[in-house]
Amino acid sequence: MLRRPQKLVYLNFSASTLRLQSSYLVTSVIIYWVILRGALDGDIFLEKCTVKNVQEVTTAFKAEHSVEPTDEPKCATNEIDIERASISKCMSFDIEHPSMLKVNLATGQHTPMIRCHIGITGLKTAIPHDLDVVEPLPIDHLRGEEMRVHSTGDWFASALTVLSTSSQTMLWNYKVPTAIFAFSQRESILCGVLALLCIIDESATPEWATKYNDEEEERETVMRKLRESSRAMMREMSLSPAEKAKAFRERVSKKHDEWFEGLNAIRRRGAQRADTRIVEAVQSPKWDNKLVAEHNLLWLKWTGHVQESHDLRRAVEVLLWRMVKEPPFARDLAHTLD
């Protein structure tokens, strides 16, 4: 059973000052799990489509949609409409706007949509597709970069390619980078780290952290202090008034010092255990990517990043929309994936 985490925290690894921000962690995990899903389902073909195959698919698509064929059918880029989450051959793929506003064209309103063209090197253009002709959106932040191993454009094009590829379609002319393909197949997310980030409840994971039982020790400490205080009071009863007053002040001062030292000891012990817990989390078992994605999708719903009705596929569509419209978000997401 998937349980709701209690709170959101940020980790600060003192050894390497590495900060894991859970929002980008979960979104990046979901995106690369989509790549994994396509790989495991046999929906991804790393080879490029031949010109013959592209022409056959283009002709079939136009025949199905009553489009007049041209002398030179073009399929140099992949056209993907971000609006409706439906697949039609290998020519188009729609992803809804994140607002999920379902508008009927009969009313004169139109749901925003972005048509993306994917070429051999990645995203070529992103054009808002509505009733009016508009200019292409700025996509410099999503273009492929030859000087980088993984660019923001690589992650975007890979996720979008797999999301819009199924057993009934062929991969077009974009090839998912081998490194990203291999990365998506590995179990790379540690369940202990997810628990530390409060994305999952620790009870849902295999035992990975040391369990401490301080109740017995605390009970012994309280009983020892009570016995010492009782003996001190008995000795004070046999003293003169002046000596009794002095002994009383010393006993109160000692009690205060012990209390303060106890707080410091608890603080030091807590810090040491927190460091140990981080080390243990890094050594915890790695979870299957599908299981990680399911828990992360729940976290996205609990925190309001996606709607309750969204499934994994729809959540990725929202992320791809945001990557087109929000360059800072796209860069941060790709940086986390890298």
In this predicted structure, the answer to whether residue 259 has a pLDDT above a threshold of 50 is yes
Which of residues 37 and 189 earns the better pLDDT score? 189
Q: How many CB atoms lie within 10 A of CB 230?
A: 9
pLDDT of res. 128: 74
User: pLDDT per residue over 96-153, tens digit each?
Assistant: 555 543 333 344 444 467 777 777 777 777 777 654 555 677 778 887 655 555 578 8
* Per-residue confidence band for 197, with pLDDT thresholds at 50, 70 and 90: confident
CB 293 within 8 A of CB 204: no
Q: How far is CA 226 from CA 20, 219, 223, 260, 263, in A?
A: 45, 11, 5, 17, 18
304-329: b (≥16 Cβ within 10 Å) or e? ebbeeebebebbbbbbbbebbbeeeb
Which of residues 280 and 67 earns the better pLDDT score? 280
Which of residues 191 and 89 earns the better pLDDT score? 191
Backbone φ, ψ for residue 32 (5° rounding): -75, -20
Element (H, E) at 246: helix 241-282
* Per-residue confidence band for 171, with pLDDT thresholds at 50, 70 and 90: low
Supply the mean pLDDT for the chain.
70
Q: How far is CA 309 from CA 2, 28, 126, 199, 315, in A?
A: 17, 20, 27, 19, 10
In this predicted structure, the answer to whether residue 212 has a pLDDT above a threshold of 60 is yes
* Per-residue confidence band for 264, with pLDDT thresholds at 50, 70 and 90: very high
Average pLDDT over residues 206-225: 87
pLDDT of res. 63: 52
Quick one: what percent of the chain has pLDDT higher than 90?
Answer: 6
How far from the centroid of its chain's Cα atoms is residue 215's Cα?
37
pLDDT of res. 106: 40
Nearest to 44 by CA among 159, 166, 157, 144: 166
In this predicted structure, the answer to whether residue 57 has a pLDDT above a threshold of 70 is no
Q: Give 255-301 as a DSSP string.
A: HHHHHHHHHHHHHHHHHHHHHHHHHHHHTSPEEPHHHHHHHHHHHHH
Torsion angle of the four alpha carbons 335, 123, 27, 22, in this order, in degrees rounded to the nearest 10? 20
Can you give the pTM of this predicted structure?
0.62
Phi-psi region of 125 (alpha: psi -120 to 50; beta: other; left: phi over 0): beta
**Long-range contacts formed by 99-106: CB under 8 A, 24+ apart:** 100/307, 100/309
pLDDT of res. 277: 92
pLDDT of res. 124: 77
Q: Which residue type sits at 315? A: A
User: pLDDT per residue over 282-330, tens digit each?
Assistant: 999 998 888 888 888 888 888 887 888 888 888 888 888 888 888 888 8
